[in-house]
Chain A
Amino acid sequence: EPEVTQTPSHQVTQMGQEVILRCVPISNHLYFYWYRQILGQKVEFLVSFYNNEISEKSEIFDDQFSVERPDGSNFTLKIRSTKLEDSAMYFCASSEARGEKLFFGSGTQLSVL
């Protein structure tokens, strides 16, 4: 079965630094998503992306966050100035069409020190 790939699996950064989390969605998928899970809490929706623009975003997705599809294969999440509370597991997902099954990556564990 095709997979969504996320790199790195674990990212450690200092508070205030910028981080970029990378994802390679499944090649024929058109919708891309980021979710996060803070330790001990629910998986939370951050943002969905289609046709090179954000289609939906949650309250969590403030001005510190941005997403980009810089080329035909990568989908990135950037956090401009990380805070301690940004420490979480970040999941990328993609789907073939709106409302279709989401395929998730195995996540990037972000630790902000």
Chain B
Amino acid sequence: AQSVTQLDSHVSVSEGTPVLLRCNYSSSYSPSLFWYVQHPNKGLQLLLKYTSAATLVKGINGFEAEFKKSETSFHLTKPSAHMSDAAEYFCVVSDDQAGTALIFGKGTTLSVSS
């Protein structure tokens, strides 16, 4: 079965500094991997998706993630944090090759201070 582990429950950064949200996964085949973001009182929004094309995936709002098979990692990064990036971030792996059942990590809360 697929699973995903988000290594930090809470990350705090200052505005303008880099963001790193860590995620490791386990999968018995080439997985589809996602990062979703949830702002307060909003639905889950897809940031980016990896599906075995380029290993470096660029998403919305300046975020990107790199798929590293040797490390079974899919960390999310952003060069410079903005106050509006403060939210809950979920690393997600698909439970099947069609990607219809998603397995979520526990989430990482990102706080951004001025």
Contacts and interface: CB of A to CB of B under 8 A. Distances in A.
Q: Say whether A and B bind each other.
A: yes
Contact of A99 (B41, B99, B106): B99
Given A42-B104, A44-B104, A101-B49, A106 B42 contact: yes
A4 B107 CA distance: 22
Interface in A80-113: 91, 93, 98-107
Contact of B100 (A91, A98, A103): A98
A44 B98 CA distance: 17
B46 A102 contact: yes
A18 interface: no
A100 B94 CA distance: 11
Contacts of A42: 104-107
B21 interface: no
B90 interface: yes
Contact of A58 (B46, B98, B99, B101): B101
Interface residues of B, number: 23
A99 B46 contact: no
A31 interface: yes
Contacts of A93: 44
A56 interface: yes
Given A99-B32, A99-B100, A104 B105 contact: no
Interface of B: 32, 36, 41-46, 49, 90, 94-96, 98-107
Nearest 8 pairs of A and B residues by beta carbon: A43-B104, A104-B44, A104-B43, A99-B99, A106-B43, A99-B98, A45-B101, A98-B98
28 contacts: A3-B43, A4-B43, A31-B100, A35-B104, A42-B105, A43-B44, A43-B90, A43-B102, A43-B104, A45-B95, A45-B103, A48-B101, A56-B96, A56-B100, A58-B101, A91-B43, A98-B98, A99-B98, A99-B100, A100-B99, A101-B46, A102-B44, A103-B43, A104-B36, A104-B43, A104-B44, A104-B45, A106-B43
